[in-house]
Amino acid sequence: MARNDTMAQTGLDDAAEAPYRRFNIPANGFRNYWNPILPAAEVGRKPKPVRLLNEDIVLFRDAGKLFALEDRCPHRGMKLSLGSCDYAGSGTISCPYHGWTFDGASGQLVAALMDGPDSPIVRKVAVKSYPVREHAGLIWVFVGDMAPVPLEDDLPEFIADQVTFFSIVRYCDYKANWRWLVDNWPHDHHGPYVHRTSPELLFQPMLPFGMTVTTTPLPNDKGIAVDGVNGITSGDYAGLGTFPRNNWWRCMTPAGRGKTEGFETSAARRRYGIQHQFETRLPGMVVVGRQSGEYCLVQWATPIDETTTRCFNINNWRRHGTLRGLYDRAHYYLWRGWAHDGTFSGQDKRMVEGLVPGPERLSKTDAGVIAWRKYAGAHARRAPEQDSLRHRGAA
Amino acid sequence: MARNDTMAQTGLDDAAEAPYRRFNIPANGFRNYWNPILPAAEVGRKPKPVRLLNEDIVLFRDAGKLFALEDRCPHRGMKLSLGSCDYAGSGTISCPYHGWTFDGASGQLVAALMDGPDSPIVRKVAVKSYPVREHAGLIWVFVGDMAPVPLEDDLPEFIADQVTFFSIVRYCDYKANWRWLVDNWPHDHHGPYVHRTSPELLFQPMLPFGMTVTTTPLPNDKGIAVDGVNGITSGDYAGLGTFPRNNWWRCMTPAGRGKTEGFETSAARRRYGIQHQFETRLPGMVVVGRQSGEYCLVQWATPIDETTTRCFNINNWRRHGTLRGLYDRAHYYLWRGWAHDGTFSGQDKRMVEGLVPGPERLSKTDAGVIAWRKYAGAHARRAPEQDSLRHRGAA
Amino acid sequence: MARNDTMAQTGLDDAAEAPYRRFNIPANGFRNYWNPILPAAEVGRKPKPVRLLNEDIVLFRDAGKLFALEDRCPHRGMKLSLGSCDYAGSGTISCPYHGWTFDGASGQLVAALMDGPDSPIVRKVAVKSYPVREHAGLIWVFVGDMAPVPLEDDLPEFIADQVTFFSIVRYCDYKANWRWLVDNWPHDHHGPYVHRTSPELLFQPMLPFGMTVTTTPLPNDKGIAVDGVNGITSGDYAGLGTFPRNNWWRCMTPAGRGKTEGFETSAARRRYGIQHQFETRLPGMVVVGRQSGEYCLVQWATPIDETTTRCFNINNWRRHGTLRGLYDRAHYYLWRGWAHDGTFSGQDKRMVEGLVPGPERLSKTDAGVIAWRKYAGAHARRAPEQDSLRHRGAA
């Protein structure tokens, strides 16, 4: 059941859609991309239902392979995810209702158990089969209307190259449209304000604000790099006073995520050739580097449906031998997992779930948001046919 | 508030309605039939609200009689079921808001207490009164647009004749449309697959599958008898293997519900003249006999509204004196009530509630489903006016 | 975001709206009035979200002043109620997302913290600011499309004049449209029936019923006085019997709320010049006096949205020195708070929440309801432009 990515289907009302419709950014997510949907450890032999870009999908494993099928038997409409993999090694799943058995790879009906072995309907029916991969501890599914691109095409290099890097992932579901999460990410200046009490930035100066945001397209339609310059960390506001207030305890120098100035002379660029510290990429993620170049955080907004988004925090460390790896893991589980993926991201979650969709009044600090929306709508991968339709429509 | 039985009102979308619309099977149930709604023991003097075919009804008893009225006072709209029967012996119910008092039999307003004894509005207003009966431990209500038929016309003889039979009933609400339950019943072959692990069929061979299903209309527009022939109990499926697997423990001969072959020479036919073992009947029930002819199960799908169905398991035993009756009861409470009405029907419930309405792809084993839908839509009782409209429409 | 008060927006269906549409009584409440929304003690420095006439509003206090703003930041749509008052004494609230800071009095944007101190957007944007007052222990908000009238214009004199009276308030949210509450109040005769078992009226005769209800417009479009005459306290109903039944325990003479006859010679009129015992007033309240003139209850239905109403019981006593005041308070907390505001009003709540909207069949006892609807629709305050539109529409 392919669904097109026009706006017509959305349940969100006109005012709520307005900021996205003009840029052609669909409510249920950009199709024709790989998205992570679950940690690999959460899917076993027992079929597992998931929703992705508003499509219901069943995931299962058999004989060491992973499969993703449309979660509805075409016979009478039963959820395949209530069924089971009765024939180990065959890579099939059987519908719990009448035993229609589908090949996990092709989606073809290979047996209709209750029709008997000589049923003529076999191989005349199929469910939609989704390209699916396991990589970096995650399960990735391609929902689209075209042949899938190689998975690596859609992964940041920090995730793609698991020889050079290793990853630890945490995820959380937001009761919010995916676009509201992604709008957070092209330096929209919520950071210094929302996270000013974050433990990860404790004792550090404020993140700079009032910056001039510039964006640079990345090669190959990957997304945009976002840079902010000329920021301040304190200001006097007429009639109000200073912001931030009670700043005396911010006595450290910037470090870690807090260190955002001077990336051009950083080890990340000198030693590893990393060009930008902040990139917002298609289909909807942010890549946040460190000036050391040894670590990188990717936050990925996977659209579940119009009102739910699964946000993955993918932490990536450069591999430097066993001891350093153990240290990095310990540091994550003892500190960063709580300080960032729990607390810092929890601050974002409270914001994004508190949004009331409708008209907007954007300002200087939204330059990155506007650039992202324009870029994303124009550069998102589309199936060839859709793409030509789009261009005809625009002509 | 009579409501017609066209499809126009349904909240289910087009794709979900498609399998039923062409046969004219309404989402809220066939009108002009008796349906069971509650065990008699659950209704006393205190008014009890129920919903049936999407109509809200209040049931109450007074002076040994049972009444069913529309559950909304026409005065200002209060639910009569929040009221009480203030005048014992009068067969009336009083609205809790201003004391409008309605005759349970006719629905006529017999007093408007707060208007005083000489209120001119008395007998000028009425609520809809529903034909209602108590029989076989159940309360039966006729929702329709015509004079009710005799209750016995709509009851299987096993239930109608409580001199020859006695009944024990259990019910359960399904979060599913009533049609999905009934589609289960004309030998749709879910039985051998869904119930293959049922305790009631333990140690027995598989129920046969891959059968050729034939259906025979019953006299008087009652429904269809459904027979399956040429079934198998095991098969070899190319590329998969045998079904069922691990069959070694199925060492008993078929018995009870499991015994489905050879009905034509059974005691049921020879001694009692019962013609069929499986019948699917209007408005939406299945009659499942035993070859002994001593017992019969009726499962009845009572439509509550589009998304809820009350499924009654009505167990019926032929009366053979006190001791045999005690044994049959003990057998039910100690074994069959759990094994069938709990576990076996629980397997059905999981299926029916797991359906995702939409397009279907029927196969050989759905011959009974198709026959049932055709039959039901064409033979269902309709009010005279509706019926003529239907024929004109078809002309 | 001003919203007009036509019927077009209502989610209630046609049949449910019919009784109100012809009188032009809007589902979300009459605009251009003051309504109480919360006890003053429930709002402090921490922003508090409320809904009123289907508008989302944030309340907060700073430097001893109270403010009410639209609860949505125009920037990116965040709920301001998730923010905080960062600059004590400035009377501002800051959006939690990017620090847009609004003046509580004017709604003007006075700083966009993250844009820096010299942001050009400052004072070019505003949120809607609502007139708000604290009086008699309550917070009052004016939702409308015109300059607010003085608060006192909309208050019964018992509440307005806190030198002569003092008030104790309790409130409760009803899952019901506000109009259903108010329809209760112009002597619709639910009182004698619904409250016949109320502890407040214990041992007293029934409140009279079967009365002829007359209504008198109050000066200045305030509402209508409602009087009932020629009532009975007992009647014989053909075929049923006497109402009320088992009356022997009603041995006291009428007192308190139960004393409704002879108001014209009461102390209330003689000593204090109070003209009526029962008045139903705009925008939706009832004023229930006592014949002593020393006490008065105001019940106020504040529309939250189409399906929720906040009902305030505002108890008002004439001040007579400290000791008498202590006695009145003790009497309330030990008896009347439970007997009336809890139990008596709880009986009303059960009724109003049990209504099924739809067509009505009004009778003699609804003379007050009809008079109220006619009066309210015709006399409700409207913004000048709306008012002229209404008259043109009628011409």
pLDDT tens, residue by residue, A247-297? 788 888 888 888 888 899 999 999 999 999 999 999 999 999 999 999 999
Q: What is the mean pLDDT of residues C75-96?
A: 97
C126 part of contact set with chain A, CB < 8 Å: no
Long-range contacts of C238-244 (CB under 8 A, 24+ apart): C238/B110, C238/B111, C238/B117, C239/B90, C239/B110, C239/B111, C240/B86, C240/B87, C240/B90, C240/B92, C240/B101, C240/B110, C240/B111, C241/B87, C241/B90, C243/B86, C243/B99, C243/B111, C243/B113, C244/C196, C244/C206
Q: Residue B177: inside a domain, yes or no?
A: yes
Overall pTM > 0.95: no
pLDDT tens, residue by residue, A215-248? 999 999 999 999 999 999 999 999 999 999 877 8
pLDDT tens, residue by residue, A195-219? 999 998 888 888 999 999 999 999 9
Cα distances from B176 to residues B62, B311, B348, B349, in angstroms, run: 34, 11, 11, 9
pLDDT tens, residue by residue, C243-267? 998 778 888 888 888 888 889 999 9
Q: Residue A108: inside a domain, yes or no?
A: yes
Helix, strand, or coil (residue B197): coil
Residue in chain A lying closest to B239 (CA): A90
Give the count of beta carbons closer than 10 Å to the beta carbon of residue B88.
12
Are residues B101 and B170 both part of a single domain? no
Are residues A91 and A171 both part of a single domain? no
**Percent of chain C having pLDDT more than 90?**
84
Site from C70, C79, C82, C98 to mutate, A interface, most A CB atoms within 10 angstroms: C98
Residue C321 has pLDDT above 70, yes or no: yes
Domain end marker among C97, C131, C165: C131
B295 or C259, which is more confident: B295
Residue B51 has pLDDT above 90, yes or no: yes
- Say how far apart CA C227 and CA C277 lie, in whole Å: 8
Are residues C193 and C290 both part of a single domain? yes
- Say how far apart CA B71 and CA B79 lie, in whole Å: 5
Predicted local distance difference test score (pLDDT) of residue B8: 39
Closest partner residue to C114 (CB to CB) among A183, A209, A238 is A209
Quickly state the pLDDT bin for C388 (edges 50, 70, 90): low
CATH number at residue B267: 3.90.380.10
- Contact (CB<8Å) A358/C92: no
Q: Residue B328: inside a domain, yes or no?
A: yes
Closest partner residue to A361 (CB to CB) among C86, C99, C125 is C125
Predicted local distance difference test score (pLDDT) of residue C93: 98
- Structure tokens of A301? 């907004």
pLDDT tens, residue by residue, B337-377? 999 999 999 999 999 999 999 999 999 999 999 999 999 99
Are residues C367 and C295 both part of a single domain? yes
A251 part of contact set with chain C, CB < 8 Å: no
The β-bridge partners of C310 are C173, C302
Quickly state the pLDDT bin for C82 (edges 50, 70, 90): very high
Are residues B201 and B252 both part of a single domain? yes
Residue A361 has pLDDT above 50, yes or no: yes
Cα distances from B169 to residues B39, B296, B315, B329, B341, in angstroms, run: 8, 12, 6, 11, 9
Q: Residue B364: inside a domain, yes or no?
A: yes
> Residue C120: exposed, middle, or buried by beta-carbon count in 10 A (0-12, 13-18, 19+)?
exposed
Residue B6 has pLDDT above 80, yes or no: no
Quickly state the pLDDT bin for B386 (edges 50, 70, 90): low
Quickly state the pLDDT bin for A141 (edges 50, 70, 90): very high
Residue in chain C lying closest to A239 (CA): C90
Predicted local distance difference test score (pLDDT) of residue C9: 41
Cα distances from A267 to residues A160, A289, A295, in angstroms, run: 21, 11, 12
pLDDT tens, residue by residue, C11-64? 556 777 888 999 999 999 999 999 999 999 999 999 999 999 999 999 999 999
Question: For residue B101, what is the enclosing H or E element?
Answer: strand B100-103
Residue A389 has pLDDT above 90, yes or no: no
Residue A10 has pLDDT above 50, yes or no: no
Predicted local distance difference test score (pLDDT) of residue C158: 96
Q: What is the ipTM of this complex?
A: 0.92
- Contact (CB<8Å) A193/C96: yes
pLDDT tens, residue by residue, C1-17? 333 333 334 455 677 78
Q: Residue C16: inside a domain, yes or no?
A: no
Q: What is the mean pLDDT of residues C281-307?
A: 97
pLDDT tens, residue by residue, B243-280? 998 778 888 888 888 888 889 999 999 999 999 999 99
Question: Cβ distance C355 to C20 under 8 Å?
Answer: no
pLDDT tens, residue by residue, A16-67? 788 899 999 999 999 999 999 999 999 999 999 999 999 999 999 999 999 9
Residue A7 has pLDDT above 50, yes or no: no
B12 part of contact set with chain A, CB < 8 Å: no
Residue type, B150: P
- Say how far apart CA B371 and CA B378 lie, in whole Å: 11
Predicted local distance difference test score (pLDDT) of residue A250: 86
* Count of domains observed in chain C: 2
- Mean pLDDT score across all residues of chain A: 92
- Contact (CB<8Å) B365/A98: yes
B296 or A260, which is more confident: B296
Are residues A128 and A150 both part of a single domain? no
Q: Residue A51: inside a domain, yes or no?
A: yes
- Angstroms from B115 CA to nearest CA on chain C: 4
Which structural domain, as residue segments, surrounds residue C362? 156-384
Exposure string (b/e) for A126-150, b if CB count within 10 Å is 16 or more?
bbbbbebbebbbbbbbbbbeeebee
- Say how far apart CA A368 and CA A371 lie, in whole Å: 5
Are residues C236 and C349 both part of a single domain? yes
Predicted local distance difference test score (pLDDT) of residue C335: 95
Domain end marker among C131, C146, C170: C131
Q: Residue A227: inside a domain, yes or no?
A: yes
Exposure string (b/e) for A298-328, b if CB count within 10 Å is 16 or more?
bbbbbbbbbebbbbbbbbbbbeeeeeeeeeb
Q: What are phi and psi of A248, to 5 degrees?
A: -60, -30
Are residues C199 and C348 both part of a single domain? yes
- Contact (CB<8Å) A77/B360: yes
Contacting subunits of B (3+ beta carbon pairs below 8 A): A, C
Site from B12, B179, B240, B347 to mutate, A interface, most A CB atoms within 10 angstroms: B240
**Percent of chain C having pLDDT more than 70?**
94
Residue B10 has pLDDT above 50, yes or no: no
CATH number at residue A107: 2.102.10.10
Are residues A122 and A184 both part of a single domain? no
> Residue B329: exposed, middle, or buried by beta-carbon count in 10 A (0-12, 13-18, 19+)?
middle
The β-bridge partners of C130 are none
- Say how far apart CA C99 and CA C108 lie, in whole Å: 14
Domain end marker among C96, C131, C166: C131
- Mean pLDDT score across all residues of chain C: 92
Q: What are phi and psi of A301, to 5 degrees?
A: -95, 105
Q: What is the mean pLDDT of residues C54-79?
A: 97
- Say how far apart CA C54 and CA C308 lie, in whole Å: 10
pLDDT tens, residue by residue, B181-216? 999 999 999 999 999 999 988 888 889 999 999 999
Question: Cβ distance A156 to A287 under 8 Å?
Answer: yes
- Angstroms from B222 CA to nearest CA on chain A: 26
Predicted local distance difference test score (pLDDT) of residue B390: 52
- Structure tokens of B348? 């059905």
- Structure tokens of C241? 């019997």
Predicted local distance difference test score (pLDDT) of residue C18: 86
Give the count of beta carbons closer than 10 Å to the beta carbon of residue C247.
14
pLDDT tens, residue by residue, B113-158? 999 999 999 999 999 999 999 999 999 999 999 999 999 999 999 9
Are residues B92 and B195 both part of a single domain? no
Q: Residue B325: inside a domain, yes or no?
A: yes
Predicted local distance difference test score (pLDDT) of residue B13: 66
Question: For residue B48, what is the enclosing H or E element?
Answer: strand B48-52
Are residues C127 and C160 both part of a single domain? no
Question: Cβ distance C248 to C257 under 8 Å?
Answer: no
Are residues A110 and A170 both part of a single domain? no
